[in-house]
Amino acid sequence: MPEDIDPELEELRKKRREMYVKQADEEKQRFGWPDTPMVLTDANFRETVALYPLMLVDLWAPWCGPCKMLGPVIEQLARELKGKVVFGKLNVDENPQTASSFKVMSIPTMLVIKERELVDRITGAVPKATILQKLQRFL
């Protein structure tokens, strides 16, 4: 450990991380691993992403044709990858804060979030195989 890091502060950080992990495990047991995309909002985004080790979040809008084409693919992947990846959908018209915080300029955009960190981004209505290929790197 570097000299400039306070051991007490590090111990507090460690305890807090353990507390978050325990809370997330309890939430997962309560809610399980969904096999359909979860509805995400500006209000529940951070808490939901913190619950699961790997999420793919589809940022979409009801008026977007390519988003509508991608919807059934996301639903199918949610069933097929249950227990490995949790899928979420965030309507950017109703939830502009989250979309803005990730600098989303076009939709559909899919965010791959691992351990609460953005690790990849997929833009456009891409084929199912492309999404699977991107996710495989993080499984």
Torsion, Cα 121 28 47 13, to 10 degrees, reads: -100
Q: Does the annotation mark 67 as catalytic?
A: yes
**Does pLDDT of 1 surpass 50?**
no
Question: Residue 20: pLDDT band by 50, 70, 90 thresholds?
Answer: low
Q: Does the annotation mark 118 as catalytic?
A: no
pLDDT in tens, 85-121: 999 999 999 999 999 999 999 999 999 999 999 999 9
CB under 8 Å, gap of 24 or more: what pairs does 4-13 form? Answer: none
Average pLDDT on 112-136 reads 97
Question: Residue 15: pLDDT band by 50, 70, 90 thresholds?
Answer: confident
Closest C-alpha among 9, 5, 128 to residue 75? 128
Q: Which of 40, 67, 85, 135 is catalytic?
A: 67
Average pLDDT on 41-48 reads 96
Q: What is the mean pLDDT of the chain?
A: 91
For 36-55, letters b (16+ CB in 10 Å) and e give ebbebeeeebeebbbbbebb
> Could you tell me the CA-to-CA distances from 75 to 15, 38, 105, 116 in Å, in that order?
37, 10, 23, 22
CA atoms of 57 and 38, how far apart (whole Å) = 9
Q: Which of 40, 51, 59, 64 is catalytic?
A: 64
- pLDDT, position 5: 77
